[in-house]
Structure 1
């Protein structure tokens, strides 16, 4: 459904009567017309989408009102199952891309939505996912302005895959980069780790585990704005998704040629998540999250930023979890509860595939 898909000029609102997706819904004809108009255009309706051109067009001057630099990112979502405690693939596809923009210091503005549908996919399930995307976009303050649809034969894909690309704008007063990290900095996170990965694992029903753990999927752009307002001099920031906190911090340490020391006792993890990890041999440091970010900044700014984070619903459980030290370069260390230190390496393999 790129706007060329959206771009069939409509005399009246189409209504999709099919109960399942067929190959005809990707053919470019009336079936595709009805699918796009009823499910996508009707749900994502906004002034940028309304002209139904082959692209969304923006005035540069209007973008520049929000900042001086353009941020641009893309991500694809293949999570299984499509619906899980606390969220679903539609909300995940919006929040994931919004958060990728936000942690650069950008104000997210616009998203695309491209979907690959498997023949036979239920139309009502698609409708539910698209409505979830729109609700998430409204909550995050962004608009879905263009997209694309493809249908593949049954068995050529697994139900539905979604790609979202996002555009945002960054003020020239903000310079968030791993190259800014220095020894003496401290490391903050905004809450408990591992909820998303654990909720997906339990939702798959492959293990005899019962839990009320929900995904932490949420937009982080408003929290980031609160952080930057409190302290524009943020050295580095990243959302903690696949690979978990351990992988993000290894990337930071390697990029900045520093070492990062974590305090195991300071890292927040829900007791239920700890229990699942103990049963299955997982490490919460490597579990995926979809509503957590890590912030690296000067030690003298930590209290100010921590207070600001705790004032926001997405940062109520924010805390300091570590510090940046000079050596050994490129290494993440963990101070354990026994007082010893161990190396926390980057994730090797995948604890849980198709997590987002």
Structure 2
């Protein structure tokens, strides 16, 4: 008979179940917190104060490094479809991917409030590791700081990312041309609506979950199918409308979208109608807009729909000459509506 021997869990080195100021003091308590919560998950033993990195992709003539950084303060920390850890990885991976880079390495810095539950940190770090593994990136260095109670909101995360742009790949909004087609990979506004409902301020009940996901795999697939793709942006804060306005301004073109083509859930439309919000400005965390030449639009759309991150992909409009920097929408009733840049913030602390 085969005997299965269970491995007992390692005893915790931490005293208590909440972070104290001692965990930021530089001594044994801090080392125990860092090792048990962070480096035991992210890094191999014996890590130095800096990550030492190499990649065959860097040796290819003409390859470029891409570097980005972002901070995450989303409230609530955990929400349907994700948490602050997952969104930190996805957000940084996607910032690299939409520029044509292949993400390789991330750093992660944590600002932790005194009194934060250590169990919450374990969940956030596990979520980060799971998403990083899924995206094929490594979290290779980081930092922790502890601040007094009331100086933060449980935990804030800052991630930086490094990737490699292959030779001869140049995605930039300045390269968009008149006639190019605009494609989104999925439904719009899910993340913003999810966060709004999760806060509980409006007593909303909905089954919407955040679209939080890494898009580097999707981008690589699309760029193989549509090698002359012009530019892409992830539609995070400010939503699709803000992305399109930035791209119209950078390209010195106008962009027209079709309201009937926009992929929106009825639940998101309902939340927006009740609260007087515009879904075009709601944040997304797993949705991008891509401009490709018209001749490659069908191939790009099919490539997106072949992946789970792009099954809701749709062609939503095109770039046009004239009226540089202007975005308009053909409405359900056949009229034209100006889609301006968001003034202020529809919903703060969305990511």
Superposition TM-score, scaled by structure 1 size? 0.93
User: In the alignment, is residue 297 of structure 1 matched against residue 292 of structure 2?
Assistant: yes
With over 3 angstroms needed to count, the CA separation of the structure-2 counterparts of 1:75 and 1:67, relative to structure 1, is farther
Pairing of 1:194-273 with structure 2 (within 5 A): 194-273=189-268
Aligned residue for 1:188? 183
Equivalent residues of 2:258, 2:330 under 8 A apart: yes
Distance 1:13 1:229 in 2: 48
The aligned residue for residue 3 of structure 2 is none
> Quick check: 1:66–1:169 contact (8 Å CA) kept in 2?
no
Q: CA deviation at 1:131?
A: 0.7
Question: Which of 11, 21, 24 lines up with 1:23 in the alignment?
Answer: 21
Residues 67, 76 of structure 1: CA spacing in aligned structure 2 closer, same or farther, 3 A cutoff?
A: farther
**Equivalents in 1 of 2:275, 2:34: separation in Å?**
43
- Structure 1 match to 2:272: 277
Instruction: State which drifts further: 65-74 or 104-113.
Output: 65-74
- Cα distance 1:278–1:319, how it changes in 2: closer, same or farther (>3 A)? same
Q: CA deviation at 1:297?
A: 1.1
| Residue of structure 2 equivalent to 1:87 | 82
The residue number in structure 2 matching 1:177 is 172
| Residues in 1 aligned to 2:80 and 2:203: alpha-carbon distance in whole angstroms | 16
Give 1:234 deviation, angstroms: 1.0
Structure 2 Cα separation of the partners of residues 182 and 119 of structure 1: 52
1:63-142 alignment, distance < 5 Å? 63-64=58-59, 68-142=63-137
1:162 is aligned to 157
* Cα distance in 2, alignment partners of residues 67 and 28 from structure 1: 43
**CA-atom RMSD in angstroms:** 1.5
| TM-score under structure 2 length normalisation | 0.95
Q: In structure 1, list runs of 5 or more residues that go unmatched.
A: 1-11
Equivalent residues of 2:253, 2:321 under 8 A apart:
yes
Match of 1:150 in 2: 145
CA distance in 2, matches of 1:61, 1:96: 25
Deviation at 1:327, TM superposition (A): 1.7
Kindly tell me the number of residue pairs found equivalent between the two proteins.
342
Shift of residue 17, structure 1, vs aligned partner: 2.8
1:66–1:170: 8 Å Cα contact kept in structure 2? no
Query: 1:3 is matched with which residue?
Result: none
User: Which position in structure 2 is the counterpart of 1:43?
Assistant: 41
